[in-house]
Amino acid sequence: MKFTTLLTSAAMALGLASGAMAEDKTKVGFVYVGPVGDGGWTYEHNKGRLAVEEHFGDKVETVFVESVPEGPDAERVMTQMALEGADLIFTTSFGYMDPTINVAKKFPNVKFEHATGYKTADNVSVYSARFYEGRAVQGHIAGKMTESDIIGYIGSYPIPEVIRGINSAYVHAKKVNPDVEFKIVWAYTWFDPAKEADAATVLIEQGADVILQHTDSTAPQAAAQEAGNVITFGQASDMSEYAPHPRVSSIIDNWAPYYIARTQAVIDGSWATVNTWDGIAEGMVEIGEISDSVPADVKEEALALKAAMAAGEYHPFTGPLKKQDGSDWLAEGETADDGTLAGMNFYVEGLEGEIPQ
Amino acid sequence: MIVLEKRPQPSKAWSYATPLVAVVATMVFGGILFAILGKNPVEAIGTIFWEPLFGEFAFYYRPQLLVKGAPLVLIAIGLSLGFRAGIWNIGAEGQYIMGAIFGAGAGLAFYPLDAWYVFPIMVIAGAFGGWLWAMIPAFLKVRFGTNEILVSLMLVYVAEQMLASVSLGLLKNPEGFGFPGSRNLQSYESAHNAELIAGSGMHWGVVTALVAVIFAYILLNRHMLGFHIRLTGEAPRAAKFAGVNPARLILFCLGLSGALAGLAGMFEVSGPSGVVSIDFNVGYGFTAIIVAFLGRLHPVGILLAGGLMALTYIGGEIAQSQLGLPAAAIQVFQGMLLFFLLAFDLLTNYRIRAARSEVA
């Protein structure tokens, strides 16, 4: 416990020091799981960081460390940021959950924000986006546009967030195309261009002419471009360099408003623990421009679907829906509750294969 | 004209000087790289090497050097014995993973039993897991003459798949809301490889690494087996006449390096990491190869090299957040270290001479 005291006193000394410097800058740290140039997940978080810098100008200083492995290394990086006087630290990957909680305990005066996790504390908030709303739009376009009726899906890890996306895309593809079939490949990585390219190639060879991805690199886009008649969707970031074909639309994670709001809360002293899960309505999930490769009527329907979700009129998981094993899940008109969605570990009826266990 | 001339005997002086020259060259060229990136090179190098040891927060970073360095040293010691005898275990990363799976698995099997013997059983299980994984290439080499470099390397990828599988299935935390990853061993006291003195960074893995250094030193210098290992590497024919049994040596070297890598994985998973997760391994098994060579395959050298590598990791992170250096630049910096080491190693066996070019 001596160590904790030591750290705390160091933190307090720092807190005092920065307090003494009065209008000193608020320091915001970001811990990234990938390189800022990944063109996907980390790229968008970094855009959020840059937006914070732009918004607050001289009042805020930001620091970041990229490509931090999930585990003891992450804990060290967070500790280091806290020691060096960060007031607010965003830890932007699910695997940073336990390290964030551990470090937060040692620095009660520093605020932490953990992305996509579920453990909160007095100084730890969690935040995530309802990506599955974007998946609904993708599923709709994919179901309309596939000619082979085979849609390939590159999964990262079989965790609830990814399974939710698969289910949402499948439900909406099936709705417009009853013959549609999903082929799912698990890449077991968030970012590995070589593996992602392999996965895309395998799916294309199996007849998929639409590729959906839950991994962060643009490698699947490149593979689709090479194959020619395959369409894709940008993941986490717009990936517009592959527009208008193969990339026909995208899900964009827009963290900037949240990061600015939370930084403001720290400056104002009004920061409190929250559990944020925002979607299209709040602007945290955006749909990238639907390109001209998509027929006008399909585009119109997709935009209408998006508008309905933004207005809160439509929930992507609305009954009647059954689970894969045929058991009832949602009755006619019933919508899924957040608790079930947060821990979703089952496929909906019609999907083939098993979730790796 | 400059020519390379083979030395009749490898130069002793150069074999000691090479690592130092390599470190200096890395600083110079790394400094140039940082300058091109628009950072003050002196400040950057200073941050990497000085800040963790003597900076404002050294009280936190110094113990972290032990935490980061211990698995590197432990694995590298095992590898160095084989490397000396020309037995190339490239798959320590896989053995590290298997050690963690076996060790954590043994611990979790007892959950939530509170007993003194849980941790020792985990230690044995961890070493066994690593040993078992290394026995595959060892057995295949002895029995069928396969190449241990390829087999051990390929088994790393197999081990990674096993890790993903147990994180999602067998060892998944039943209270984890369906998310992958095991229970956190840090909160299971009987299985927790805690710091022996709070705040010192000193956990059982660090102690084991230090013991391994001493053990390897004695083995190589005072024991017949150590002599056989050295002889096989330096003069394979002579070793045959001296009655060295190559099969036994292969089994011993691969088995021991596997067991040590397994121990490293077990101490990591039960201590600093706490959780068996899909991304548990972060490349210690591969980095340890650099450490082994940087340390001249000598136990004491490896100890120093492990410390140096740990320093570049921790200092590199500080440089990232303080100076905004990209992570890739730090990785290039670490890569330069091995590159220059191998390059300057040439001077151990060759000398550079200015030769007069004859006019034809």
| B57 with A80: Cβ contact below 8 A | yes
Residue B73 is predicted with a pLDDT of: 97
Cβ of residue B272 closer than 8 Å to a chain A Cβ: yes
Task: Output the six-digit token pair for A200.
Answer: 């895309």
d(CA A175, nearest CA chain B) in Å: 28
Q: Are the C-beta atoms of residues A240 and A234 closer than 8 Å to each other?
A: yes
Euclidean distance between CA atoms B61 and A22, whole angstroms: 28
Cβ of residue B188 closer than 8 Å to a chain A Cβ: no
Q: Are the C-beta atoms of residues A189 and A159 closer than 8 Å to each other?
A: no
| A65 with B317: Cβ contact below 8 A | yes
| Numbered residues of chain A with Cβ closer than 8 Å to any chain B Cβ | 1-4, 6-7, 10, 29, 35-36, 63-73, 75-77, 79-81, 83-84, 94-95, 98, 102, 118, 157-160, 188, 342-345, 356-357
Q: Taking CA atoms, what residue in B is nearest to A93?
A: B279
Q: Taking CA atoms, what residue in B is nearest to A1?
A: B198
Domain layout of chain B by residue ranges: 51-325
Residue B8 is predicted with a pLDDT of: 82
| A63 with B324: Cβ contact below 8 A | yes
Q: Which residues of B touch A3 (CB under 8 A)?
A: 195, 198-199
Q: How many CB atoms lie within 10 A of CB B318?
A: 24
Sign for the CA dihedral angle at B22, B258, B198, A1 comes to positive
Euclidean distance between CA atoms B250 and B84, whole angstroms: 12
Residue A21 is predicted with a pLDDT of: 44
d(CA B29, nearest CA chain A) in Å: 23
Q: Which of these CATH numbers, 3.40.50.2300, 3.30.360.10, 3.40.390.10, 3.40.50.720, describes A137-252+285-342?
A: 3.40.50.2300
A89 has which bridge partners?
Answer: A29, A112
Residue A71 is predicted with a pLDDT of: 85
- The strand pair at A247-253 and A285-288 is best described as antiparallel
The conformation of residue B241, written as its DSSP 8-state character, comes to H
| B179 with A35: Cβ contact below 8 A | no
Tally helices (H) and strands (E) across chain B. Answer: 14, 2
Q: What is the pLDDT of residues A241-299, one digit of tens each?
A: 998 889 999 999 999 999 999 999 999 999 999 999 999 999 999 999 999 999 999 99
* Ramachandran assignment for A151, one of left (phi > 0), alpha (psi -120 to 50 degrees), beta (any other): beta
Question: Cβ contacts of residue A51 below 8 Å, gap of 6+?
Answer: A256, A259, A260
Q: Which residues of chain A have pLDDT under 50?
A: 1-2, 11-22
Question: Cβ contacts of residue B313 below 8 Å, gap of 6+?
Answer: A73, B68, B334
Q: How many CB atoms lie within 10 A of CB A205?
A: 10
pTM: 0.84
Q: Which of A1, A63, A160 sits opposite B178 (nearest CB)?
A: A160
Chain B interface test: which of A46, A157, A163, A341 (most B C-beta within 10 Å): A157
Q: What is the pLDDT of residues A31-78, one digit of tens each?
A: 999 899 888 899 999 999 999 999 999 999 999 999 998 888 999 999
Q: Where in chain A is the domain with CATH 3.40.50.2300?
A: 2-129, 137-252+285-342
Please count the residue pairs, one from chain A and one from chain B, whose beta carbons lie less than 8 angstroms apart. 108
E strand or H helix at A265 = helix A256-268
Q: Which residues of A touch B282 (CB under 8 A)?
A: 69, 71, 73
Residue B356 is predicted with a pLDDT of: 64
Type of residue found at B57: F
Q: Which of A76, A159, A160 sits opposite B317 (nearest CB)?
A: A76
d(CA B331, nearest CA chain A) in Å: 11
Q: Taking CA atoms, what residue in A is nearest to B185?
A: A98
* Architecture of the domain defined by A2-129: 3-Layer(aba) Sandwich (3.40)
What average pLDDT values come out for chain B (360 residues) when binned by 10 residues?
81 84 92 92 91 90 93 96 93 96 94 90 96 96 94 96 90 80 88 85 92 94 87 84 87 96 96 89 92 90 93 91 89 89 84 68
| B275 with A71: Cβ contact below 8 A | yes
> Per residue in A293-308, is it b (16+ CB within 10 Å) or e — as a string?
bbeeebbebbeebbee
Closest CA to B220 of B71, B78, B75, B12: B78
Report ipTM for this prediction. Answer: 0.82
Q: In CATH, what class is B51-325?
A: mainly alpha
Q: Are the C-beta atoms of residues B285 and B59 closer than 8 Å to each other?
A: no
Q: Which of A102, A158, A344 sits opposite B168 (nearest CB)?
A: A158
Residue B359 is predicted with a pLDDT of: 55
d(CA A75, nearest CA chain B) in Å: 9
| A64 with B274: Cβ contact below 8 A | no
Closest CA to A187 of A175, A170, A200: A200
Q: Which of A2, A118, A344 sits opposite B198 (nearest CB)?
A: A2
